[in-house]
Amino acid sequence: VQDLSRLHAACPLEVRDMLSSSVDNIIQQVSGYVQDMRGVNATLAGIAESIAAIDEITAEVGATVGACLAVPAVLVVLCCGAIATTVAIVDKANAHCAERCHRCELPCLGAFCVAPAMLLVSAVAAAELAVGIFSGGFCLEVDETVLRYAEASLGPESDGYALSKYYLAGDGPNP
């Protein structure tokens, strides 16, 4: 823009008169473009931090979900170990010990080991199914969902929302 402005001072009078309106028009367009790019930079300035925050939250959620999914498997392995230990004690013990343990082994294992493990496995399976159904619902109308989210988080008058609306719905001007 500065180089174009110098044309007014450096050129002869006839050339200045002939190019004045076109140079002024070019200066105005370039200035408008520079201003628009400053607005785009301001809009994009916080995106890196937002992506880093989302990445951190996703890592935490992934670790929590992984731990929750491991609990039923560990519980089932512990139940199998308890059953195997009981069978080994009854099989290797003398007749008196086997008779004492016979009255409580199956009811105790069923009530305090197997039933809670089956209940927890069922609850985790139900939670996984619910997450799958919820995720599938998001994918049914992904464009509309993203537009609603962009409007709520960026604001209905923001350039970010206008850009999302332009590219996803083909509605409005390209900001």
Q: Where are the alpha helices (DSSP H) in the chain?
A: 2-10, 13-44, 47-92, 95-102, 105-109, 115-140, 142-154, 159-169
User: Model-level pTM?
Assistant: 0.47
Going residue by residue through the chain, which has 175 residues, state the pLDDT in tens, using 9 for 90 and above: 666 666 666 777 776 677 777 777 888 888 888 888 887 787 777 777 888 888 999 999 999 988 888 888 888 888 888 878 877 777 777 777 767 666 666 677 777 777 888 888 888 889 889 988 888 877 788 888 889 988 998 888 888 888 888 888 888 877 6
